[in-house]
Amino acid sequence: MIVRLCPPKRKGRLRWSLRERAGSVRVLICPGPLGPLPPHPGTIWKALRSPPAAEQEGPGGRAGALRCVCYGLGSFCSCGKARLQLAFLLLLLEELKVGIPPEMCFVFDPVFSTLEIEVLSGLGLTMLPWNEEGKRSIEGPTLFYMIHCGKALYNNLLWSNWSAEALSQMVVVGNSFRGFEERLLAKVFHENYNYIAKVLEATQEEALPPHVQHPDVFNDTSVHRFPLQKLRSLPQDCWTCQPEPLYPEEAQLEIIRNKAQ
């Protein structure tokens, strides 16, 4: 199987198409009617470069080295929404390429096919080898791109970085944390997703405005930041006890767990 990638001819507008001919596959990324995609990448760039994140040393001792982790993109060969979300990710990386080169964007979804893995690798992205279930500890300023992921994935991510210093170096683009609080029963929210609940008061959330052409692709999506000053204002006892999240068997987690579990 052959995967050929054609870069866009015009910056800032992408369309995805997949063509299969005589046993080979050609993937095209070309100009098309994707339309404007909020938020402006500068908002995310500013968040990632703001102190203390910009003062940290990343891999290899490079000050301010940035990373991106993408979870739950979905099967973009068969799903139009996933293709648009991939296009937005590529646009973000294009805008942030000074800080986040493609090889520093790590991607995983257990539903990816062999072809989709080849396509993402061909785009220069780095595939994660196994299902982390969101339990990734950061090594420096990191953008997490998690559009329409399950609540447990966000909760696991927060648990894995449960300190003011680590959380302040993260930007999460994904489902609105405030929306979780509004839609879930208070008991379920605080018991099953307690790390989201505990960090909510220290979260700076900016909702993406509605997208006219694709209202169901980026709906309920926000950019989440965790300012260090706000995190340090939380009660000290919220940092002392940090057990690994456990979810009741009857809970609808909306994530694919490791088979061993």
Tokens 């990373």 sit on residue: 67
- Alpha-carbon 164 to chain mean position: 20
Cis peptide preceding 52, ω within 30 of 0: yes
The pLDDT value given to residue 18: 39
Q: How confident is the model at residue 193 (pLDDT cuts 50, 70, 90)?
A: very high
Query: Which range (19-28, 72-81, 155-164, 229-238) has the least confidence?
Result: 19-28
Per-residue pLDDT tens for 74-119?
999 999 899 999 998 998 888 776 678 899 999 999 999 999 999 9
Is pLDDT at 135 greater than 80 in this prediction?
Answer: yes
- Tell the burial category of 66 from Cβ atoms under 10 Å away from its Cβ (0-12, 13-18, 19+): buried
Mean pLDDT, the chain, whole residue set: 79
Is pLDDT at 69 greater than 60 in this prediction?
Answer: yes
Is pLDDT at 6 greater than 70 in this prediction?
Answer: no
Local structure of 10: helix, strand or coil: coil
CA distances, 191 to each of 124, 175, 186, 249 (Å): 40, 19, 8, 14
The pLDDT value given to residue 19: 41
Is pLDDT at 5 greater than 60 in this prediction?
Answer: no
Q: How confident is the model at residue 29 (pLDDT cuts 50, 70, 90)?
A: very low
As a whole number of angstroms, the distance between CA 145 and CA 245 comes to: 21
* Amino acid, single-letter form, for residue 129: P
Looking at beta carbons, which pairs linking 44-50 to residues 24 or more positions away fall under 8 Å?
44/92, 44/96, 44/143, 44/171, 44/173, 44/223, 45/95, 45/96, 45/99, 47/171, 47/223, 47/225, 48/96, 48/99, 48/141, 48/143, 48/171, 49/99, 49/141
pLDDT: which is higher, 10 or 229: 229
Q: How confident is the model at residue 131 (pLDDT cuts 50, 70, 90)?
A: very high
The pLDDT value given to residue 125: 96
Q: What integer is the mean pLDDT of 28-38? A: 41
Query: Which range (11-20, 69-78, 128-137, 215-224) has the least confidence?
Result: 11-20
Residue 226: CB atoms within 10 A of its CB come to: 21
The pLDDT value given to residue 250: 60
* Structural element, H or E, at residue 144: strand 142-146
Spatial contact of 141 and 64, defined as CB atoms under 8 Å apart:
yes
